[in-house]
A and B are shown apart, each in its own frame.
Chain A
Amino acid sequence: MEENHLNHTCEFLLIGGSAGSLEVLFRLLPLLRGDLPFPMALVLHRRNSTDSSLSHLLGSKTLNPTHEVEDKEPATPGTIYLAPADYHLLIEHDRTFSLDYSEKINFSRPSIDVTFESAAEVYGSGLVAILLSGANEDGTSGLTAVKKAGGTAIVQNPDTAQMPFMPHYALTHLPIDHVFDTIQMASFINSLA
């Protein structure tokens, strides 16, 4: 399975996280190369407020330009996108982002499942999706869709997660390609072309 991934080029990198995931990102982002050859998007559960400061905070940890997604914005390589609070984030076939204010899924908006499933349809085997720390079931259906479409499914090692439930739940429900701690995650992402 490992060898398969070496042949794949990453066209889109998705990271989903809930409680305890910000700490991971604060450590992960500074370790990433400053010229990511693919777009990267973060889907994080956060408090229901328009705290636009989060994208600044995350952006201060990386050389890659980082901002909240604007409706119908194209997904450009080398940019880190943050799903806005209180909207679902979807990807269109022309590789632009769409926002959606429909019902919460698993009590969450943005829902990690929604973005993972939508990106799996568009990017197929070119998608790499990572699920971080969290205390609910969000992300598992999404990773299942990613695998089904030929993409790569990765979870944070539950032993290193502040809230192990979310990555652990995924591990017990589908075959995960890699279980990584933060350092492993960074070197894997930096090796993707």
Chain B
Amino acid sequence: MIEEEDIDLLLSDLFDLYGYDFTRYSRASLKRRVVRLCSLDKFPSFAELRYRVRNDPTYLKRFVEEVTVNVTEMFRDPAFYQSLREEVLPVLGTKPFIRIWHAGCSTGEEVYSMAILLKEANLLRRSLLYATDLNPSVLEKVRKGIFPLALMKQYSESYIASGGAQDFSSYYTAQYGQAKFNNELSEKIIISTHNLVSDSSFNEFDLILCRNVLIYFDKDLQDRVLKLFDASLGALGYLALGTKETLKFSAVQNKFKQLNREKIWKKII
């Protein structure tokens, strides 16, 4: 049984020793992840887990990767991607150069989905996709652009549902049960570690996507991150959140206008 106080101790260790601040994460979810990791890695008690985290920097990497959620997929919520295709990209296409930020991109499935949309809109050549996450190991996967082949059938269906008209399999090469996405897509993706809790704005973007990341943060941290996005968006830029996330009741809600039923907002001031 792991107590709230145990989690507090662990979180202060992580901050004091490594500078990772998880104190404003949604506690219920975080605690469940810690309990899960404890049983996954067969620690006899919480004290052993804490000792390992304090004393083994290589284990720290695994810890951070496992307590944060890294579940993602390509073209999740096809209607959202359809809206990007039909309503956002035509507007971005009027710009000479397009900068897009995928904040908390995890293993990058959404970044590659976006690259495919840009390619099909003939905008990929003049676009750059910045993919950031706090886990260096997931970013390595983004760089490689290799995903399990077994998932391609599902991704292909979502791609078609989003309005995709090409042969989805033309975007990757299948080998040894893996799908390696084309270099044409990956060479437009710039990866970098970035922690939404502690790092600041690093560029000005036309579109920021941060889907199903804010749900892991408490209200205060959500506000901090939304202000960071606001500061990182150019005039009339777009912000896209997950289906169950909202700008409503946030510190920046008056600066944005929701486009349609999808969770896409346009910066109006």
Q: Which 4 A-B pairs have the closest CB atoms?
A: A90-B28, A98-B26, A102-B69, A99-B215
Q: Which residues of B contact A93 (CB under 8 A)?
A: 4, 27-28
Interface SS, A side: loop
Check: B218 CB closer than 8 A to any chain A CB: yes
Check: A38 CB closer than 8 A to any chain B CB: no
Given A70-B244, A90-B28, 11 further pairs, Cβ under 8 A: A71-B244, A87-B215, A87-B244, A92-B28, A100-B69, A101-B212, A102-B32, A102-B33, A102-B71, A118-B32, A122-B28
Q: Name the residue among A99, A100, A101, A103 with the largest chain B CB count within 10 angstroms.
A: A101
Interface string of A115-130 (1 = CB under 8 A from B): 0011001100000000
Q: Which residues of B contact A171 (CB under 8 A)?
A: none
Q: Tell me whether B71 and A118 are in contact (CB under 8 A).
A: no
Report which of A70, A84, A90 forms a contact with B29, defined as CB distance below 8 A.
A90
Check: A155 CB closer than 8 A to any chain B CB: no
Q: How many residues on B have C-beta within 8 angstroms of the other chain's C-beta atoms?
A: 23
Q: List 6 A-B contacts (CB under 8 A).
A: A71-B246, A72-B219, A90-B28, A93-B28, A98-B29, A118-B28
Q: How far, in angstroms, from A102 to B70 measured CA to CA in the complex?
A: 7
Check: A50 CB closer than 8 A to any chain B CB: yes
List B residues 38-86 near A (Cβ within 8 Å): 69, 71, 77, 79
Q: How far, in angstroms, from A144 to B242 measured CA to CA in the complex?
A: 32
Instruction: Look across to chain B and name the residue whose beta carbon is closest to the beta carbon of A148.
Output: B1
Q: How far, in angstroms, from A98 to B245 measured CA to CA in the complex?
A: 11
Interface string of A80-101 (1 = CB under 8 A from B): 0000100100111100001111
Min CB gap A76→B, angstroms: 15
Q: Which residues of B contact A100 (CB under 8 A)?
A: 26, 29, 32, 69, 215-216
Min CB gap A50→B, angstroms: 6
Q: Tell me whether B243 and A50 are in contact (CB under 8 A).
A: yes
Q: Which residues of B contact A99 (CB under 8 A)?
A: 215, 244
Instruction: Look across to chain A and name the residue whose beta carbon is closest to the beta carbon of B216.
Output: A100
List B residues 226-269 near A (Cβ within 8 Å): 242-246
Q: Which residues of A contact B4 (CB under 8 A)?
A: 93
Report which of B32, B71, B246 forms a contact with A101, defined as CB distance below 8 A.
B71
Q: Which residues of B contact A101 (CB under 8 A)?
A: 69, 71, 212, 215, 242
Q: Tell me whether B246 and A102 are in contact (CB under 8 A).
A: no
Check: B100 CB closer than 8 A to any chain A CB: no
Min CB gap B254→A, angstroms: 19
Q: How far, in angstroms, from A50 to B32 measured CA to CA in the complex?
A: 25
Q: How far, in angstroms, from A84 to B263 measured CA to CA in the complex?
A: 15
Q: Tell me whether B214 and A92 are in contact (CB under 8 A).
A: no
Min CB gap A75→B, angstroms: 12
Query: With A84-B244, A99-B244, A103-B71 in contact, is A91–B212 under 8 Å at CB?
Result: no
Check: A131 CB closer than 8 A to any chain B CB: no
Check: A114 CB closer than 8 A to any chain B CB: yes
Q: Tell me whether A114 and B77 are in contact (CB under 8 A).
A: no
Instruction: Look across to chain B and name the residue whose beta carbon is closest to the beta carbon of A118.
Output: B28
Instruction: Look across to chain B and name the residue whose beta carbon is closest to the beta carbon of A85.
Output: B243
Instruction: Look across to chain B and name the residue whose beta carbon is closest to the beta carbon of A100.
Output: B29
Q: Which residues of B contact A102 (CB under 8 A)?
A: 29, 32-33, 69, 71
Q: Which residues of A contact B218 (CB under 8 A)?
A: 72
Q: How far, in angstroms, from A121 to B31 measured CA to CA in the complex?
A: 11
